[in-house]
Structure 1
Amino acid sequence: MYPEAYIQYLVQFHGYRDFFECHEILEEHWKEKETRNRDKYWVGLIQVAVGLYHHRRENWRGARKTFQNARSIIQENKTSLQQLGLDTSQFIQLIDERISDLLLHKVYTDMNLPITDTALIEQCRQECEANQVTWLADSDLDDPYIVHRHILRDRTSVTKERLHQKLLREQKKLSRS
């Protein structure tokens, strides 16, 4: 009933609390469609995860801006998000509370998405159990890989691809000369 990427997003969100991975999973899913046909509500969910990632790292401004953008997208896409088993009114309230906390520089606390579909919750719980992860676990704030993943991840393939694209652009310029 739900896309597998969404299930994996929820498992990462509520089990591993790996918000960077949440972003990666849904961005890949979102990009499967052509640009003009992409569903914006996925971006709202991505931005909630990114906002939490920033908040956990005490990037107050980045987190606040990201949550403000997420709120706008979620407000505009309530029906689609309700079809994903989310209580959008409660979701917007949670985001508003988070934005207020960020303005006051309150310490990070975990957020649970307001899932209304009990079968979806059970499916995610079973997925967590199969992976020996606790559903609704607290974030491990002592795990640098979870907290600072964007800095600590292996970027070899990204660096190689950027260099390759740069060389292609340079070759293109030379061929035009």
Structure 2
Amino acid sequence: MYPEAYIEYLAHFHGLRDYFECHEILEEHWKEDPRESRKLHWVGLIQIAVGLYHHRRGNLTGAKRMITNAKRIVLNEREELKNLAINVDELSENLASELQRINEALPYNSFEIPLTNNALITTCQNRCLELGCVYGSKSDLANIELIDRHTRRDRSDIIQERKQQQQLKQQKRNG
């Protein structure tokens, strides 16, 4: 009923609090659609994860930008998010609270994406167990590997893909 990438996102969001991985999972899913028909609600969920990643790292400027954008998308994509069993009003409140924490330079504090479907929650809880975590866990603020994920990952495949795309563009320009 729900895309597997969405369930993975929710398990990483609520269990591992691995917001970087949340971003990676949903961005890949989002990009599966042709550019002209990509769904904006996925971008909103990605930006929530990215905003929390920034806040946890102390990047308040990046956190504010992402959470502000996410909040706008959540309000505009209300029906699509409801179809994903998200309580949009409660999520909007969580995002408003997060923005207030950022504006007041308060430390990061994890929050939940409020779900309305018990079967989805159970599925996510089971996936968390498979991942070795508990659904609803708080962030491990001492886990530098998690907090600085973007600086510690192997990006060789991304760099290779960018080089290939640049070569293709150059070939097109040269005829």
Which TM-score bucket, shorter chain as reference? over 0.9
Alignment CA distance shift 1:167-1:37 (3 Å): closer
Task: Name the TM-score, length of structure 1 as normaliser.
Answer: 0.92
Who is 1:68 aligned against? 68
Report SS of the residue matched to 1:52: helix
157-166 vs 17-26, greater mean Cα deviation = 157-166
Offset at residue 171 of structure 1 (A): 6.0
Tell me the C-alpha RMSD between the 2 structures: 1.6
Q: Distance in 2 between matches of 1:86 and 1:17?
A: 18
Who is 2:38 aligned against? 38
Offset at residue 8 of structure 1 (A): 0.4
Offset at residue 160 of structure 1 (A): 2.7
Who is 2:84 aligned against? 84
1:69-109 CA-to-partner distances (Å, cap 9, x unmatched) read 00110000111101111110111011011101101100011
Offset at residue 156 of structure 1 (A): 1.5
Alignment CA distance shift 1:158-1:102 (3 Å): same
Give, as a single letter, the amino acid of the residue that structure 1 aligns with 2:15. Answer: G
Q: Distance in 1 between matches of 2:97 and 2:82?
A: 20
Q: Percent identity?
A: 42
Offset at residue 128 of structure 1 (A): 1.2
Give, as a single letter, the amino acid of the residue that structure 1 aligns with 2:110. Answer: D
1:110-132 CA-to-partner distances (Å, cap 9, x unmatched) read 11111111111111111111232
Task: Name the TM-score, length of structure 2 as normaliser.
Answer: 0.93
Matches within 5 A, 1:1-177: 1-167=1-167, 175=174
Give, as a single letter, the amino acid of the residue that structure 2 aligns with 1:114. Answer: P
Unaligned 5+ runs, structure 2: none
Report SS of the residue matched to 2:67: helix
Q: Distance in 1 between matches of 2:29 and 2:161?
A: 21
> Aligned residue pairs: how many?
175
Unaligned 5+ runs, structure 1: none
